[in-house]
Structure 1
Amino acid sequence: MSFPAPLRGVVPPVITPLTPAGEVDTASLRRLVGHLIGAGAHGLFLLGSSGEAAYLTDAQRRTVLETAVDAVAGRVPVLAGIIETTTPRVLDRAADAVRAGADALVATAPFYARTHPAETVAHFRRVRAAAGLPLFAYDIPAAVHTKLPREAVLGLAADGTLAGLKDSSGDEGSLRRLLVDPRRTTSGLSVLTGSELTVDAALLAGADGVVPGLGNVDPRGYVRLYTAARAGDWTAARAEQDRLAALFALTEAGDPARMGPNSSALGAFKTAAHLLGLIDCPATAAPQIPLDEQDVARVRAHLTQARLL
């Protein structure tokens, strides 16, 4: 499909349903994709952090992309995560995404070793030149240990390397400075926030949209928030954001004494999707620790309080 420039709206980072044996559950993935599009999502981001890309084999990643692209059937843009440690490995994943029919690519800075900004810039340019699809930079220093410099992002947007940025840096000041920089407007860079809890503020500051992990659970809530913001109804946008912030507490359902925050958050997203009938199994990829019955009960309580169950 023709890729919109700039990309705007709600673009959920789709979770990857797995079977109890740890294989990709393609039937559940198709059902989830249909649900997200039916809820009004403006695009889908496959194989991001919420999609457990780092835990999947190359073959599983290909299965996810091929299944999702087929299920989407051109209704919304499909952004494919090509997150890998080094440029050659990213180029391999980019080739897979192109063959699968993705509409755009999403890449982080290389992250096996810390990279100099000049190396990061060269990395994105090589990926864009080789793949030929619109490229989004994924700024997530908590995972890759590199914060993308604002000047580098603006330069890559100006020369046509980057079509957009998914900002999951947690640096609200840096994001605000990027949004108000005239060079960002001139280049047409799409800026999507990855922070589920401050979407209204990001949209008010000029962000183009949001990539919310919680959007797997309540996509309609984020679409309502975005629609209200676009209409200038900031009271409604704030009310929806407050409701979603309360629901986001389900990511803390896991007991921190026995699991890390990633296991808790992804386990909660998948458990919620399972309770809502969107996927058949809430399994997360090894070595993440699954939620127990008490954790699941906490997720259920949050869904009930949010009137999703």
Structure 2
Amino acid sequence: MPLATSLPAPLTGVVPPLCTPLTDTGQVDVRSLAALTEHLVSAGVDGLFVLGSTGEAAYLSDDQRRTVIETVVGTAGGRLPVLAGAIDMATARVLDHARTACGLGADAIVATAPFYTRTHPAEISDHYTRLRNAVDLPLFAYDIPPAVHTKLPSDTVLALAGEGVLAGLKDSSGDDGALRRLLVRLRAVDPAFSVLTGSELSVDGALLAGAHGVVPGLGNVDPAGYVRLYAHAREGRWRAAAAEQDRLAALFSLTDVGDENEMGRSSSALGAFKAALHMLGVIAAPATAAPQLPLDDAANRTVRRLLEEAGLL
């Protein structure tokens, strides 16, 4: 079993949620995934998050998820911590994923609240407590209401942080006001608790408010940009941070290249990330998992133009 890397507390910096490169037949492209891992490590990121939304976890079989963790943990080789998503509908299935990730050498687990079924905050608390008791790895809550259909209550996060159940939070709620208030309250609860924002267009503001880092999907394409942004913020160079954020915001428009009348937003965003990575020579093919639809030629031309405008091609 690969040895786990010591996870800093709090975890800080840039922790990209890796795309999962696929072959044209829908299998995990191990060689491209290893190349993507090296692409991110070389850019100076601070951690790697596999099997999140950007990693298409919801579309992958259990065997494919296992392959992703094995590949990234093996390629990272202890140079960076690897956080593994254990995302499924209910506690029993999430426990299975978490135990597998632990056995493969992941350094932390990232899990949403249960979904599909309707849950109460007491049930969400029990869900995370069972996970932490069963798997001896740091546990991060993943707050993503568009996918889970419930917002993680701040009181629940604070209580679980105080009890040592949660080591951190990946906030993809898009509710910057709620995040700001939570950060203020967390300072009195656990200074080692890590808050990572998934709102990659407002990273400078989140860092100014006290967030510890960012989990940017666009960081697959331009990891160095987010590393620069974080460094500027850490050193108090807020004008430079804002300028880098503005450049990344312009590049992020590549996620909208797909025609809304013909495909879902996931197909557009993940297809654009993968198209960009393919154009940059990082991965072999831009394929996304079924039933997502591929980008057309016009959309791909727009991706290439945006990469050129951002200075990446």
TM-score class, shorter-chain normalisation, is: over 0.9
Indicate conservation of the 8 Å contact 2:162/2:189, yes or no: no
Using the TM superposition, give the Cα deviation of residue 188 of structure 1 relative to its aligned residue in structure 2, in angstroms: 2.0
Per-residue displacement from partner, 1:245-272 (whole Å, max 9, x unpaired)? 0000000011111001111000000000
Using the TM superposition, give the Cα deviation of residue 293 of structure 1 relative to its aligned residue in structure 2, in angstroms: 0.9
* Cα 1:80–1:105 shift into 2, 3 Å: same
Q: Using the alignment, how far apart are the partners of 1:281 and 1:187 within structure 2? A: 42
Match of 2:89 in 1: 85
Structure 1 residue ranges, 4+ long, deviating more than 4 angstroms after superposition: 182-185
Secondary structure of 2:196's counterpart equals strand
Letter in 1 for 2:90: T
Q: Using the alignment, how far apart are the partners of 1:141 and 1:162 within structure 2? A: 18
Using the TM superposition, give the Cα deviation of residue 189 of structure 1 relative to its aligned residue in structure 2, in angstroms: 1.1
Among 102, 106, 127, which residue is 2:106 paired with?
A: 102
Q: Is 1:292 equivalent to 2:291 in the alignment?
A: no
Per-residue displacement from partner, 1:111-153 (whole Å, max 9, x unpaired)? 0212000000000000011011000000000000010000100
Secondary structure of 2:114's counterpart equals coil
Using the TM superposition, give the Cα deviation of residue 186 of structure 1 relative to its aligned residue in structure 2, in angstroms: 2.9
TM-score (norm 1): 0.99
Letter in 2 for 1:73: G
Match of 1:34 in 2: 38
% identical equivalent positions: 66
The total of aligned residue pairs comes to: 309
Aligned CA-pair RMSD: 0.8
Q: Using the alignment, how far apart are the partners of 1:183 and 1:303 within structure 2? A: 39
Segment of structure 1 superposing worse, 177-186 or 135-144? 177-186
Secondary structure of 2:142's counterpart equals strand
State how 1:129-148 maps to structure 2 within 5 Å: 129-148=133-152
Q: Is 1:64 equivalent to 2:68 in the alignment?
A: yes
Indicate conservation of the 8 Å contact 2:10/2:191, yes or no: no
Unaligned 5+ runs, structure 1:
none
Unaligned 5+ runs, structure 2:
none
Q: Is 1:250 equivalent to 2:254 in the alignment?
A: yes
Q: Is 1:164 equivalent to 2:129 in the alignment?
A: no
Q: Is 1:151 equivalent to 2:155 in the alignment?
A: yes
* Cα 1:160–1:268 shift into 2, 3 Å: same
TM-score (norm 2): 0.98
Using the TM superposition, give the Cα deviation of residue 2 of structure 1 relative to its aligned residue in structure 2, in angstroms: 1.1
* Cα 1:88–1:184 shift into 2, 3 Å: farther
Indicate conservation of the 8 Å contact 1:107/1:135, yes or no: yes
* Cα 1:31–1:164 shift into 2, 3 Å: same
Match of 1:186 in 2: 190
Letter in 2 for 1:279: I
Q: Using the alignment, how far apart are the partners of 1:239 and 1:77 within structure 2? A: 29
Indicate conservation of the 8 Å contact 1:158/1:187, yes or no: no
Letter in 2 for 1:53: A
Q: Using the alignment, how far apart are the partners of 1:29 and 1:59 within structure 2? A: 15
Using the TM superposition, give the Cα deviation of residue 297 of structure 1 relative to its aligned residue in structure 2, in angstroms: 0.4
Letter in 2 for 1:25: D
Secondary structure of 2:233's counterpart equals helix
Q: Using the alignment, how far apart are the partners of 1:179 and 1:198 within structure 2? A: 15
Q: Is 1:303 equivalent to 2:307 in the alignment?
A: yes
Using the TM superposition, give the Cα deviation of residue 185 of structure 1 relative to its aligned residue in structure 2, in angstroms: 5.4
Using the TM superposition, give the Cα deviation of residue 62 of structure 1 relative to its aligned residue in structure 2, in angstroms: 0.2
